[in-house]
Amino acid sequence: MKLPRDLSGIELAKLLRRYGYEITRQTGSHIRLTAFHEKRHHLTIPRHKSLKPGILNAILKDVANNLGKSKKEIIEELFG
């Protein structure tokens, strides 16, 4: 499955709520998300109108590693 090309940073933050990520702060044009699983995990997402595929790919890879899932599983769950 391909990554969406028109996903904004705010939309991604909302999608990641299903994995326990909550917005903890915003500094300038970046949003900080935190999840409390076995340990605390932080993500920083640019608050752009559309995220570049490379940035989205890196964020989803980081989420997958933290959750012990594959990136493909995360993509299917979020966008499938």
Question: What are the residue boundaries of the structural domains of the chain, listed by start?
Answer: 9-79
* CA 46-29-42 angle, 5° bins: 50
* Burial of residue 56, with CB atoms counted within 10 A of its CB: 0-12 exposed, 13-18 middle, 19 or more buried: buried
Q: Which residues of 24-48 are buried (b: 16+ CB within 10 A; e: fewer)?
A: eeeeeeebebebeeeeebebebbbe
pLDDT in tens, 35-53: 987 789 999 999 999 999 9
Closest by CA position to 47, among listed 26, 61, 74: 26
Residue 44 β-bridge partners: 32
Mean pLDDT of the chain: 93
pTM, full prediction: 0.90
pLDDT in tens, 51-72: 999 999 999 999 999 999 999 9
Taking the domain 9-79, which CATH number applies?
A: 3.30.920.30
